[in-house]
Amino acid sequence: MRTKHTRRTRSRISIHRIDTAASYGNEEAVGNAIRKSGIDREALFITTKLWVQDAGYEPTQDAFVRSLKKLGLDYLDAYLIHQPYGDVYSAWRAMEGLYKEGAVRAIGVSNFHPDRIMDLIVHNEVTPAINQIETHPFCQQKETQKFLNENKVQIESWGPLAEGKNNLFHNDSLKVIAEKYNKSVAQVVLCWLMQRGVVVIPKSVNKGRIIENFNSIAHAIPSLNWANKKAHKTRRIASTTKGQLHS
């Protein structure tokens, strides 16, 4: 139900980016929503992900076919290895094959640390196009982004709004910036990420917030270095309760 409503809202405001995964258990619902939206396939960018239990050569090929079938598609825009666990080497070789056949337009990974990415780059033909990792004001990923840029891997943020944790929407420093630029805290955070060259996939089931998040692309915010410093200070405080990076 939520998927149906959310997709309709996104269609109306022209967000044509869909991020799903086999492990989310919603590929069939996403497929139904795509069909009902009536949007041309070429206007959509659809990503799904391979789950850990399917890491392996043939299991990856089978999982890909299963995902395509559930989504009702004949190709994917991006296919990512969801986590760096299991036989990711064989999974990557199978994904390279799918890429060369044209069954998927881009292949990438998610939650991979730089050493695991370098391992894939050095030992394979195709460099991952994307690494989807947790990236937000409390987990800025600056060094990782530098590494990814140097190796031509696009950083994509999951949890760009920190999943609302650590009281992000009421953070004092972010509120000051939001007031100064007449934006919401969510818009400041999304702007800051995009200005850094990070691809964002904020999630909301609320129509007003989807529109608000979409509108964050409208204007750049100057002086975001200041925001970086303030948010970094907050991150140091937050990290005492949050612990280590997600993997």
Query: Applying CB under 6 A, which residues contact ligand NAP?
Result: 19, 110-111, 132, 158-164, 169, 184, 186, 201-206, 209, 212-213
Closest CB to ligand NAP among 122 and 218? 218
Nearest approach, Cβ of residue 172 and ligand NAP (Å): 16
Closest CB to ligand NAP among 100 and 199? 199
| Contact by Cβ (8 Å): 22, 35 | no
Nearest approach, Cβ of residue 186 and ligand NAP (Å): 3
Nearest approach, Cβ of residue 159 and ligand NAP (Å): 4
Q: Which of 24, 57, 89, 181 is catalytic?
A: 24
DSSP 179-246: HHTT--HHHHHHHHHHHTT-EE----S-HHHHHHHHGGGSS--S-HHHHHHHHHHHHHHHHHHH-SPP
Instruction: Give catalytic status of residue 57 as yes or no.
Output: no
Nearest to 199 by CA among 159, 227, 237: 159
Closest CB to ligand NAP among 58 and 195? 195
Indicate which residues carry an active-site annotation. Answer: 24
